[in-house]
Structure 1
Amino acid sequence: MTVRVGFIGTGGIATSHLLNLASIEDAEVVALCDIAPNRVEEAREYVNRNILTRSEAEGVEPRLIEAATYTDYRQMIRNERLDAVYICLPPFAHGDPEHAALDANLHMLVEKPVALDLRVANDILRRINEQGVIATAGYQLRYMGFIDKAIELLRNTVIGQTIVLRFTRTPGTSWYHRQDRSGGMMIEMATHQVDLLRFLVGEIRKVYAAAATRINNLDNPEYDIFDVNSSTFTFDNGAVCSFAINFLTGPSGLPDLRGVHIFCKDYILSMDISLKVRRGDDVEEFGLEHDPMLEEDKAFIEAVKTSNPAILRSDYLSAVRTLAVTIANDRSARSGMPVDVNELLRAEAPQAAW
């Protein structure tokens, strides 16, 4: 079976998925949709140019993207014989496209965050559960080559504390600096590290955050997202986390400090683009081994082809729980009070409560 794929949204992250799908034999991209027609063509030209370069270097026949193009995703879904869609949209645009895909019983890979509103995500999750479609989210860090080693080590020890550090600059996308469009740095960007914590350490029960807009609004009065954030998380298993992120550095973001650090009874795990396991003065390092986003795309196509969602490392339910942690963080920062994540889910996304 060849999995026939359509894209809703062809911005930056979509081009990475398109390049990956061109190398997956069982995938065929048959349609591309974006409200900006020039963006569809720019994406196709960029991807095909890179496919040609890669094929020439590898000495293989190129599989170029020769898909139909649309500006209306509903028309694309009506006209094309699709098995699955990639929904690669800004945070504020989620909701209606997912429901249109579900109306056609299409499987979905939804880029993170899956919504800005837990109620929107809850309605989508309810339909996914009722219809039994395969739905995953774009949390590619779960597919890093060393993650299985980290899981193995964490299974056999006691976790005391985690520390997460991420420092970078505000992305240049026009909608990013607006709270009602991106959700801010925890909801849109640090969601990856929050999700990785949930995957490795366990469910996050309580969030207590302090955040502010300190610098980036000085030259841009429309900048209304936080640019500094410090949070404390408490896990169901009793472990605690200190989480710091800001938008005050260049793109390299202090590489010597950034990453997820997990302090255990017998060792310390530190991970960013590699995993370092520290036992006293001894350090053992494990590399990425492969492109995690490519592995994510391979898993999604295989899951659709074989009707086996169990091979996926992130389902839509888990993505909603990650969203809840980041929304809890934002609400705690604004209220000055801790927020219980499961109570928030029970109130606004009961399909994802535990």
Structure 2
Amino acid sequence: MAGISSRLRVAVIGLGWIGEAHLADLAGRDDVTIAAVHDVDPTRVSDCADRFGARGYTDAAELFAHELLDAVWICTPPQHHLDPTLLAVSHGVPVYLEKPVARERADALRIVEAVADSGLVCAVGYQWHALDLLTTVRGELAGRPAGFLLGQSFGPTAARPWFLDRSQGGGNLLERGSHHIDLVRAVAGEVTAVQAAASTVRLARPEAGEGDIDDALTLVLHLASGAIATIVVAWTRDDGPARYGLDVVASESVFRIELDPRFRLSGRSGGGDIDERASCAPFTASITKFLDAVRAGDPGAVACTPADALRTLEVALAGEEALASGATVRVS
């Protein structure tokens, strides 16, 4: 690991669409140098290395052997999170790990344990965790917790091959629905049980036999507080309107967190109106919190820790089991 300075040397592993999004954000910062990029696809490596002025690698071990880094972004598909994360930790390099923390609980546990043992800063990319609007939400719910929450995630997404394969990426439940699971937990506390159902209607995949995931599904979360939350996810065509938000109902509050792209909190609480906008898009805020945590050497200063992301994964895995069985499934 390089010595911490005002300008951090970073690398990005995994150069798909989310890796590109992180590269674009990092390239726009004057306190970061993109030192290296990695992917198993040499064409992607060459392209990104040229565009971002970085050295390119197709071997992650070679990257860590040759680069002095202050932080690394891991943006590989979920089933390939474990090895690069353990490699980074073994070299003492803080990690920004895209969500979910892993595809399987066993991999997630190994990541959580390795990070905890190392004392390194590690953030998981549940970006809505970084919304400054959540401070207001939690304040309004203090002493009068939410009784019902409704999360909506309707919109298009990139049809990556691993995303279409349930065994690799977990489909819409893990890749998209877990964002809302994480947000429900951040607002209303832990989930104890999950029910789930999926639509058999094809909404976004034009070809029969293309992937085995559900285009639309509903989760019902039972919370430890006694509240209930419903999350609805639908993958739509690219030309359709999108809707992302979380409605929250408490005894003295009814408000909505409008998510991408406006990030606005509106409604009424305690007899007064609420209308606030986020000071920064959460994707950018999450990265900023991670970089600040790296400089401070403070693992708890990130928006979402691996241990927190593990609890979100456990809810999502219970949802998968509920989809398959039709039963109400207890969360680990």
Cα 1:334–1:249 shift into 2, 3 Å: same
Aligned to 2:254: 268
Q: Distance in 2 between matches of 1:130 and 1:197?
A: 29
**1:174 positional shift:** 2.7
Could you list the per-position Cα deviations for residues 146-204 of structure 1 after superposition, in whole angstroms to 9, with x for gaps in the alignment? 22211221224221111112222453223321112221101011211111111111011
- Structure 2 residue 159 is the aligned partner of structure 1 residue 154: no
Cα 1:252–1:142 shift into 2, 3 Å: farther
**1:322 positional shift:** 0.8
CA contact (8 A) 1:185 1:225 kept: yes
- Counting only pairs closer than 5 Å after superposition, residues 1-354 of structure 1 correspond to structure 2 as 1=5, 2-44=7-49, 65-169=52-156, 171-216=158-203, 219-248=207-236, 250=238, 252-253=240-241, 255=243, 258-272=244-258, 273-279=263-269, 283-342=273-332
* Count of residue correspondences: 322
**1:118 positional shift:** 0.4
SS of residue in 1 equivalent to 2:163: coil
Could you list the per-position Cα deviations for residues 87-133 of structure 1 after superposition, in whole angstroms to 9, with x for gaps in the alignment? 01112222111111122121101001121110011111111111111
Deviates more, 1:23-32 or 1:317-326: 23-32
SS of residue in 2 equivalent to 1:176: helix
**1:277 positional shift:** 2.0
What amino acid does structure 1 have at the position aligned with 2:147? Answer: G
Cα 1:254–1:24 shift into 2, 3 Å: closer
What amino acid does structure 2 have at the position aligned with 1:244? Answer: V
What is the Cα-based RMSD across aligned positions, in Å?
Answer: 2.1
Deviates more, 1:281-290 or 1:82-91: 281-290
Cα 1:43–1:68 shift into 2, 3 Å: closer
Unaligned runs of 5+ in 2: none
Q: Distance in 2 between matches of 1:254 and 1:68?
A: 37
Cα 1:295–1:248 shift into 2, 3 Å: closer
CA contact (8 A) 2:145 2:188 kept: no
**1:28 positional shift:** 2.1
Q: Distance in 1 between matches of 2:29 and 2:202?
A: 44
Q: Distance in 2 between matches of 1:179 and 1:253?
A: 25
**1:225 positional shift:** 0.6
Q: Distance in 2 between matches of 1:153 and 1:112?
A: 28
**1:34 positional shift:** 0.9
TM-score, normalization: structure 2? 0.90
What amino acid does structure 2 have at the position aligned with 1:303? Answer: A
SS of residue in 2 equivalent to 1:190: helix
CA contact (8 A) 1:163 1:242 kept: yes
Q: Distance in 1 between matches of 2:297 and 2:221?
A: 36
What amino acid does structure 1 have at the position aligned with 2:211? Answer: Y
Q: Distance in 2 between matches of 1:144 and 1:31?
A: 29
Unaligned runs of 5+ in 1: 49-64, 343-354
Cα 1:80–1:100 shift into 2, 3 Å: same
CA contact (8 A) 2:92 2:120 kept: yes
Aligned to 1:347: none
CA contact (8 A) 2:123 2:306 kept: yes
CA contact (8 A) 2:194 2:331 kept: yes
**1:211 positional shift:** 1.8
**1:252 positional shift:** 4.7
**1:284 positional shift:** 3.0
Cα 1:150–1:320 shift into 2, 3 Å: same
**1:73 positional shift:** 0.9
SS of residue in 1 equivalent to 2:219: strand
Q: Distance in 1 between matches of 2:281 and 2:111?
A: 29
Aligned to 1:348: none
Deviates more, 1:81-90 or 1:286-295: 286-295
Aligned to 1:351: none
CA contact (8 A) 1:208 1:339 kept: yes
